[in-house]
Amino acid sequence: MIEECRDKLRQAEQERDYALSHQKKVEIPVEKSVLYQKCRNCNQTAYLKAKERYDTQREKMAGRYKAKIAMYEALMFLLIWYSASTTLFQMIQSKVFISDCRIFFDAIGTFTQTIAGWIALIGKNVAQISNGISNPVIAGIIYWLIRI
């Protein structure tokens, strides 16, 4: 079976080689239609006129597209601004919002006062400890704290 396939392959290759070597090249004249025929009334070609029309239409369409994009972006900005300002004003008028703001800022104030009190207490304790320590030792401790 393999031999039969090889024989068929050799025969097909021989036929191909024969066809390639005995092939005649013939040139057939073909008439092509000319796209660039001149207009009767002017010296421009029809192609140039069509291209000119296309370019002007394209520029007009590009201008319209840019204008529509600008209008769309302006409209979106105004809608976002309107919705945000309306929401903000509604929040400000709400009694719950005002009470929540008071609680929030009271919590921040209480936290700040607590931290300041702790810092003042730590400062007093450090000052009391420093009365019993000599100045060179304190200078060494502060030097290493600053380095750290």
H-assigned helices in 40-94: 46-93
**Residue 19 in domain:** no
pLDDT tens-digit readout, 54-81 = 999 999 999 999 999 999 999 999 999 9
Please tell me the pTM assigned to this model. 0.38
d(CA 109, CA 102): 10
Residue with tokens 């290759």: 13
The helix/strand/coil state of 119 is: helix
Single out the residue in 52, 72, 93 at which a domain terminates.
93
Q: Are residues 107 and 127 in the same domain?
A: yes
Structural domain including 145 reads 103-148
d(CA 46, CA 44): 7
pLDDT tens-digit readout, 28-62 = 666 665 555 555 655 567 777 888 889 999 999 99
pLDDT tens-digit readout, 92-101 = 888 988 899 8
d(CA 9, CA 16): 11
Single out the residue in 55, 71, 93 at which a domain terminates.
93
